[in-house]
Amino acid sequence: MTTQSKHLEASSYSIISLEPTQTYALRQAVLWPDKPLTYVQLPDDAAGQHFGALVGGELRAVISLFVAGAEARFRKFATDPAWQGRGLGTALLRHITAVARAQGARTLGCDARMSTLPFYRRFGLAPAGDVFYKGDLAYVKLSCLL
């Protein structure tokens, strides 16, 4: 009997750079489906670096990185629900970690939904503040050393 991993082979996806506008549809559909598209556009998007995971030419996950000196943070991290748990999020997080480190950042952080804390702990990201709320959703600041 063979067991098949649900994780994608590295050869079956690619990570590419995106323009901010290319991230909006996935950001909105995954993170804020009840809000308009304008809600997921950040004032500092132009200052960020945006990446996506492509499978078969289709964009299935996005993440946005902001590096300011020794501090890097990522925002608007989202994988298409039909593709979650296949390794795309891990690949994107590893990618931005390498990019941030190469650009001189020494810490990496984010505002995380509490529901994703177990995922982020796998990468050494740990709570660095109190729980706060955006609407009904509980968040916490996470940080790790690079």
Ligand X SMILES: CC(C)(COP(=O)(O)OP(=O)(O)OC[C@H]1O[C@@H](n2cnc3c(N)ncnc32)[C@H](O)[C@@H]1OP(=O)(O)O)[C@@H](O)C(=O)NCCC(=O)NCCS
Q: Report the site for ligand X in 55-84 (rule: CB under 6 A).
A: 61, 77-79, 84
Q: Report the site for ligand X in 10-49 (rule: CB under 6 A).
A: 30-31
Specify the stretch interacting with ligand X by CB under 6 A; choose among 13-21, 64-72, 87-95, 123-131.
87-95
Nearer to ligand X, 12 or 104 (CB): 12
Residue 52 near ligand X by CB under 6 A: no
Decide if 27 contacts 2 (C-beta within 8 A). Answer: no
Q: Which of 15, 65, 112, 125 binds ligand X (CB under 6 A)?
A: 112
Which residue from 55, 114, 118, 113 is spatially nearest to 87, judged by alpha carbons? 55
Residue 109 near ligand X by CB under 6 A: no
> Tokens for 118?
């177990």
Decide if 8 contacts 87 (C-beta within 8 A). Answer: yes
Q: Which of 107, 116, 126, 146 binds ligand X (CB under 6 A)?
A: 116
Residue 129 near ligand X by CB under 6 A: no
Return the residue nearest ligand X (CB atom).
89
State the SS3 of 24-74: HHHHHHHHCCCCCHHHHCCCCHHHCEEEEEEECCEEEEEEEEEEECCEEEE
Classify residue 57 as exposed, middle or buried by CB count within 10 Å of its CB (0-12, 13-18, 19+).
exposed
Chain residues binding ligand X by CB under 6 A are 30-31, 61, 77-79, 84-90, 112-113, 115-116, 118-119
